[in-house]
Amino acid sequence: MKKRRLNTYVFISMFFRSFLIQAVWNYQSMLSIGFCFALVPVANRLFKDRQKRIEFYNRHLNFFNAHPYFSSFALGAISRVEEDMVLEKKDEYIKVDRLKNALMGPLGAIGDQLVWATLKPASILVCLLAVLLIDIYETKIVFLFVLFVLYNIPHLYIRIFGIVKGYQSGYDVYKILKIERYKTVKNLYGALGGLAIGIIISYSILQSGEADVKFAIVFAISLLTAYFYKKYKQSIYLSLAIPSVLALFIGIIIENL
Amino acid sequence: MENIYIGLVGSLLVLDTTVAFQFLISQPLIACTLLGWFLGDIQLGVQVGMYLQLLWLSSMPVGAAIVPEGNLAAIVIAALVIRYNDSFENFNTVLICGLLYGIIVSYLGGELVVIFRKANQYFLHKVLALARKGKLNFLNVINYLGLIFHYTLMFVLIALAMYLGDFLFTYVLKIPVEWDKYFKYVVMSLIGIGSGLVLSLFKEKLYQQLIAVGLVIGCILFVLQ
């Protein structure tokens, strides 16, 4: 068993570089420049020969796309495969391309479902609920830090765990890329988000109704208009503008009755 | 000159949306608070962030999807509200006019992201050509250049939106203070509009049941208060 070449310094450097993985996102190769940028410490460590490094760069500047956080799994796995090739003196780099192509779908799908559709809205909704319920302004600020922590603990965990597990797994990384593995955290955050939005709606309706029943009615009409317009038309701009203008017209009519 | 500073700070926060880090500091709740602190009215910053937070939350930056730059718009709206809110006498008018203006800014921000992504193809061709020639250090340079390029585009948009906003708000301030009562209806509905949009994210039956539980808890909390 040959001594492994990649060390902790390489992985720490890769971790920090992964925060800029979308800096040059483009329609042609999507994440590729950022992905290759994050792999630079690996190339520097594995290849002393300049020509080999040029080949490495050209390999990884090809098309690649994934969820930005979950791309850390690909970074870890590709590092392992590249290192194995060097240690075993093989150059079957076609396998590297195949691995990258195979990872794109799962990394994107899990990331979008888990992060964009669950962790992010749930963290924000919980924090917003606290800001709505609490009157003391200093405590509201504290809850902004809570939002930051609530979201970034899983965020940073995915980035770190992805690099570590990806590297440990190599070609077998696909075995750990299943949404079921994240079911607990997805359900926990989803439940928190669902509860929070429910509380926000009923509490806000009652609060506006306490000020004036007319406000509660406008609140409910706006909610339903936005919900159904978004559901059937998908346009975010009109889903925002139409209920706003509608609420204004209702206000003008009620005040002039 | 303050518009330039708002542009400098705002575009730094906007980088967090997709291009770098993604720690959520670009979300209206946090970004408007930080901007409020920067402009000397942190309490108003929190309040504006609270109203705007849910409005763009349902747009997910999945793959190549072009989503409105709601975070950027929230920064412009917060800056305008902090500047033109006159002792809360016209708060509702200023917030809603700012919001309607912000919807346009968010659209322009989304279009600017398309331009940014298309322009990045030039960087891709450049880096490929340089890599073939063996000039490998350029990869680092180009990645940082992409970051600076995005920052500059967003800075220009925020600064221009602020200058144009100043011009438009000379007319908004002419709206009689008595009309503020009409705009109050829209302000009262903002959380409702945002909630309606966010509800579309909770499609699973389990979450929908929990929303129902949340509705009941909200009523209990209100009664207890």
Q: How confident is the model at residue B200 (pLDDT cuts 50, 70, 90)?
A: confident
The whole-angstrom separation of Cα B145 and Cα B131 is: 16
Residue A232 has pLDDT above 80, yes or no: yes
Q: Which chain A residue's Cα is nearest to B151?
A: A23
Q: Which chain A residue's Cα is nearest to B107?
A: A237
Q: Are B192 and A226 in contact, with CB atoms under 8 Å apart? A: yes
Q: Which amino acid is at B78?
A: A
- Of residues A92 and B25, more confidence is placed in B25
Question: Backbone phi, then psi, for A30, in 5-degree steps?
Answer: 55, -110
Considering only CB atoms, B214 lies closest to which of A131, A196, A207, namely A196
A156 Cβ under 8 Å from any chain B Cβ? no
145-184 in B: which are within 8 Å (CB) of A? 145-147, 150, 181-184
- Does A214 reside within a domain? no
Specify the pLDDT at position B134: 87
pTM: 0.95
The region of weakest confidence among A67-71, A203-207, A234-238, B7-11 is A234-238
With CB atoms and an 8 Å threshold, state whether A151 touches B24. Answer: yes
The whole-angstrom separation of Cα B165 and Cα A91 is: 59
With CB atoms and an 8 Å threshold, state whether B134 touches A54. Answer: yes
CB contacts, 8 Å: B145 with chain A: 24
Residue B163 has pLDDT above 90, yes or no: yes
Residue A1 has pLDDT above 90, yes or no: no
- Of residues A91 and B82, more confidence is placed in B82
- Does A165 reside within a domain? yes
Looking at every residue in chain B, the average pLDDT score rounds to: 94
Looking at every residue in chain A, the average pLDDT score rounds to: 94
Burial of A115 (0-12, 13-18, 19+ CB in 10 A): buried
Average pLDDT of the segment spanning A119-145: 94
| Whether ipTM exceeds 0.90 | yes
Residue A49, by phi and psi: left (phi above 0), alpha (psi -120 to 50) or beta?
beta
Specify the pLDDT at position A225: 96
Tell me the percentage of chain A whose pLDDT exceeds 90.
90
Looking at the DSSP assignment, which residues form a beta bridge with residue B210?
none
Residue B139, by phi and psi: left (phi above 0), alpha (psi -120 to 50) or beta?
alpha
Query: In angstroms, what separates the C-alpha of A59 from chain B's closest C-alpha?
Result: 10
B20 Cβ under 8 Å from any chain A Cβ? yes
Q: Which chain A residue's Cα is nearest to B47?
A: A131
Specify the pLDDT at position A233: 82
Average pLDDT of the segment spanning B124-135: 92
Burial of B65 (0-12, 13-18, 19+ CB in 10 A): exposed
Instruction: Give the count of domains, chain A.
Output: 1
The whole-angstrom separation of Cα B180 and Cα A198 is: 29
Query: In angstroms, what separates the C-alpha of A1 from chain B's closest C-alpha?
Result: 32
- Does A133 reside within a domain? yes
Q: How confident is the model at residue B99 (pLDDT cuts 50, 70, 90)?
A: very high
Specify the pLDDT at position B59: 85
One DSSP character per residue, B119-184 reads HHHHHHHHHHHHHHTT-TTHHHHHHHHHHHHHHHHHHHHHHHHHHHHHHHHHHHTTS-GGGHHHHH
The whole-angstrom separation of Cα B65 and Cα B210 is: 29
Q: Are A230 and B200 in contact, with CB atoms under 8 Å apart? A: yes
Residue B60 has pLDDT above 90, yes or no: no
- Does A217 reside within a domain? no
Cα–Cα separations (whole angstroms), residue B201 to A190, A234, B57, B207: 10, 12, 9, 10
- CA angle B225/A202/A255 to nearest 5° reads 95
Q: How confident is the model at residue B66 (pLDDT cuts 50, 70, 90)?
A: confident
- Of residues A243 and B200, more confidence is placed in A243
The whole-angstrom separation of Cα B205 and Cα B225 is: 30
- Does A251 reside within a domain? no
pLDDT digits (tens, 9 = 90+) for A142-151: 999 999 999 9
A256 Cβ under 8 Å from any chain B Cβ? no
- Does A123 reside within a domain? yes
Average pLDDT of the segment spanning B182-209: 93
Domain assignment of residue A154, given as a range: 8-177
Specify the pLDDT at position A2: 72
B140 Cβ under 8 Å from any chain A Cβ? yes
With CB atoms and an 8 Å threshold, state whether B20 touches A58. Answer: no
A142 Cβ under 8 Å from any chain B Cβ? no
